[in-house]
Amino acid sequence: MVYSINHKASFCKCISYVCSMKTTCKGRASSVAMAGFVHGLSVHGPTAVVTKGLGEMFNQRLPEDLTHLLTWVNENPKHNLLTAVIAKPAWDYRLITALRSLGRTCYIIVWHSDATEDGIARIQAFQSGANMVTNNPEHLHEALQHITSIHGSGNFSCPWCELGGLSEHELWRHQPLYHIYETDKLDAQCPACRKWTSGLTRHINLYHGPTQLVDERTGVFALAVVRRPEDGKFLMVQERYGEGYWLPGGGVDNGESLRQGVIREAWEEAGADIAVTGILTVESFHRGSWRRIIFLAEPVPFVGDRASGHRDNGGAAAAVLADPILAVSGTDSAAARAASAIAAAEASDPLWHRYRCKTLPDVESAGACWVSVQELEALPLRNASEPLTWIPWVAGGGRVLPLDSGAVPEVARVFPDFQL
């Protein structure tokens, strides 16, 4: 869905403990004070996320032991909020499930070099209970910033996990970050304004964020089949509400051309800049009240400050890429070997560095992934028709129409009110 405003490096390849944790010898928070919530961080695996100032985000550093974590959460379940980062060379679904059993307010991040390259493993991690799967250090840093910015300074409760004490802005921040891959609340009452709505996720995003938004519906849609030229993989959006994968794209706004609409949607849903190269099909149904064009496109490699895969990232998040703290533990040979294995895996496949895509969940999607034709049928799909029709078509060398309204008269006939 398209909204408009009303008035609008690789992960630290090695790992050490989080720096600058400000806790007492008993593990209690000392100099870091947050109203309401106490944020605890637990890192699982031979690696720990290390960036300047990261330790100051959290009240407490917690061990990996699940029994200890359960005790800590249960000491004050309404205020002790756990964030767990799993950073292991192999996907550990059992650990994800075990951490999810600690409570719905636990935020679980899986760091893996194949986070945007293995569509099946990625979706299985979410199905096991993960909130975020990433290989992007800036997205990771931004997620931790968002989590710890929720202080518990209000009176509202989340309808999904029942976490109380949220302000209106915190509810807006919390909902997609924690729950975008869960089923939407239909025919529900908003805890902030008490209005009943047919879609609570959309309602919170439109009316309770920093700026009120307008939901634009033109009845015109643009999708893109985005093929990575080096290996022929295709970009797929991990849709919200647990609906599986689909092609990037969505509604075209008034004032946009069809190409501008699909480029914007690909960025919002998949975090990818694309270059449109051709037309696959033009469709019109219900006497023209529903119209759609499907383009062929290629990704644009990220360079400079766009390498993060996030446009409005701000200086603090960008600093993670520019000045990470890299440290391999010299006292733990197993940790060093595992860290080296992760680094080798990352170095062996530089494409995900060059063509980064979205891994930070928001109201648009849970992220994105590059998938091969061979794994397409094994993936859960929001709607099988478009991916199973057009991805094999493109992979098999099917006909692509030129970006020329004169050569493709259907474009002007179906979209007389929109430029190509």
Distance CA 297, CA 270 (A): 13
Residues 77 and 134 in one domain: yes
Residues 287 and 371 in one domain: yes
Given 197, 215, 233, the domain boundary residue is 215
Does 4 fall in a domain? no
Residue 276: C-alpha distances to residues 211, 264, 266, 273, 279 (Å): 31, 12, 11, 10, 8
Query: What pLDDT shows up at residue 130?
Result: 97
What's CA 161's distance to the chain center, in Å?
19
Provide the 8-state DSSP code for 302: P
Residues 42 and 173 in one domain: no
pLDDT tens column, 195-225? 999 999 999 999 999 887 777 788 999 999 9
Q: How many domains does the chain have?
A: 3
pTM over 0.85: no
The CATH code of the domain that includes 258 is 3.90.79.10
Candidates 298, 292, 239; CA nearest to 273 is: 298
Does 296 fall in a domain? yes
Does 3 fall in a domain? no
pLDDT tens column, 90-107? 999 999 999 999 999 999
Which residue type occupies 143? Answer: A
Residues 203 and 225 in one domain: no
Position 244 pLDDT exceeds 90: yes
For 210, the token pair is: 């920093």
Which residue type occupies 223? Answer: L
The CATH code of the domain that includes 38 is 3.40.50.2300
Q: Name the 3-class secondary structure at 39.
A: strand
Does 419 fall in a domain? no
CA atoms within 13 A on the CB side of 315: 0
Residues 210 and 225 in one domain: no
Residues 124 and 267 in one domain: no
For 236, the token pair is: 């797929």
Q: How many residues belong to the chain?
A: 420
Cα Rg of the chain, angstroms = 22
Residues 119 and 241 in one domain: no
Full residue range of the structural domain in which residue 135 is found: 9-149+310-352
Position 228 pLDDT exceeds 90: yes
Distance CA 96, CA 130 (A): 6
Among 48-62, 253-267, 334-348, 354-368, the minimum mean pLDDT is found in: 334-348
